[in-house]
Structure 1
Amino acid sequence: SGSNLEYLCEGGHDFVISYTLKRSPDTFKQLVWNKDGWQDKVDPETGEISFQSKVVEQTLEVKVPLAPEDSSTEKKRGRPKKYSKEKIPVKIHLTWSAKRAAKDKSDRERMLEKLRKRLDKPYQLKAAIKRGCNQFLQMELDTNGWRLNEAKIEEAARYDGYYAVITNNLNLSTEQVSTIYGGLWKIEESFRILKNDLRACPVFVWNDEHIKGHFAMCFISLCILRYAQYLLGEAHKENASAARIMDAIHEPLVLVQGEYPNNVATPTQVNQTYLDLAKILKLPVLKTNMTLTKFRSCTKLDLTINLK
């Protein structure tokens, strides 16, 4: 949102976000279709253009909600002003890729093929429209005359392969911006891990200090998981997911047999991910049958507390 972008700028931070070409103003679309300013990259094997880039400098106008103290208390006619408009100088990095163009075309053809099959069976179109909340609507639909909108298909094809990324850091190159934006999936994945695996949300504490502590613990846990993934990758082991690493920590059990103090401890449910991490971290090797003293020296867990 505009308020988030303004907040980042006020804090001295940079942002890199995608820019939707299809919903951009017509004046900007003309800059895209204008062949001037594009830099071409030719595939040495085929001799054809494989990549194009273009940088456009613009001023981004964002709407920022007014704080209550900034709102005018003076009565005026009409609606009270709720937003202020702020301007942020940005660069829009336009790119076109032959590989992306082929993918966009393939994705669209796949959707059109599904539609063509439904057009051959009009009753499927009616069933699709009446799903979800629409099932409670009384509709008389005649789908026999429906056909594909060729003009919209042709318009969509014009955008095949094009992508735009906007940033307020005016010193970044197109390659740098593309690399930064290409790492977005890592951030999104981290949020999914925080929410699903580490259960950061919902929060079951109420005061501010406990909430801060909860998220601090979740973030530290995320850092440990990421570091474990890094170590496994550096050691050329499997690309373990966060869930698999957590299972490697949670699942191991110990079977204690015999009478105290001559018990024998047998580790069970120890998967390969645990063994790999233990080897990387140079932890003591777990044996099949261990004395309580040996088990405590390896794991720092004192089983005698529950056996005495």
Structure 2
Amino acid sequence: MGVKLKDIIYSSKIKVEDLKGRIIAIDAPNTIYQFLSSIRQKDGTPLMDRKGRITSHLSGILYRTSAIIEKGIKVVYVFDGKSPHLKMETITKRKTIRFEAEKKWKEALREGEIEEARKYAVRSARISPDIISTSKKLLDLMGIPFVEAPAEGEAQASYIVQKGDAWAVASQDYDCLLFGAPRIVRNLAVTGRAHELELLELEGILKRLEITREQLVDIALLIGTDFNKGIKGIGPKSALKLIKEKDNIYNVLEDLGKELDEDPEILREIFLNPEVTDDYKLSWRNPDKEGIIEFLCHEHEFSEERVQSAIKKMQVEKSIQKSLTDWF
């Protein structure tokens, strides 16, 4: 879910065409969760094949990613590795929320409350190992590279952008700012005119707020992150005010007479010096047409006509990609 920084973060509107010729590092878990949540039937039931295997994520990866590629944008998906132990409580809490949402979804279905059912169905979405493995299989067939992070995928995606191997991270969460991503693009994998693309630029945000990245991390720790609960009653605006007044989280906590549930120094290190790797290679191939049709149409009963159309979008001749240095 990420840290709730929306109230103090500044963004600008951009068009998908503005990303032509650029490489975007997609936060895979975040984006796949979007697909699982949004690509559903009216009553909230996810797309499934005849064997009851969920295919919403495969639909999203194929159709929405191919639409992005058709615009002349290159993408790389970045997957999570092992979650830090401090995130276990958050993961457990999310599982509980999703379990309860699933119960309410089924109750609403029994009572014929379709709109209510869909609302709870969206909250019940969860990513299983099978969903991850089939996502990677489809990406490989599509010729799209993916990177396995040693820990947090958001940290690895941010690092890829910091290195200049991609121009921005595509994610709905603000956490990538804490991990040092120079740019984040929001709503890239979301369809519909209501969802305009947002560009978040770390340097501009820090200048406008008149803080450092370290202070932004401190603000997040006061609010609460995936790794700590934060201080009750402190939101983004009050956290910003406190950090600007007291300079850092240690002075704020001392002034408030409060403590975090974890050592602030350990929490800071998660964001400021995350575990990442240089052991990756970004290369793109033409899609394996026969392989995609076999996997999606023959194995998971996708419409061959629609799949063929998506494959064609990925085979459209693209203009020569501009050097990443042109955009700095």
Larger radius of gyration: 1
TM-score, with structure 2 as normaliser: 0.27
More strand by proportion, 1 or 2? 1
- Which protein, 1 or 2, shows the higher relative CO under an 8 Å CA cutoff with sep ≥ 6? 2
TM-score, with structure 1 as normaliser: 0.28
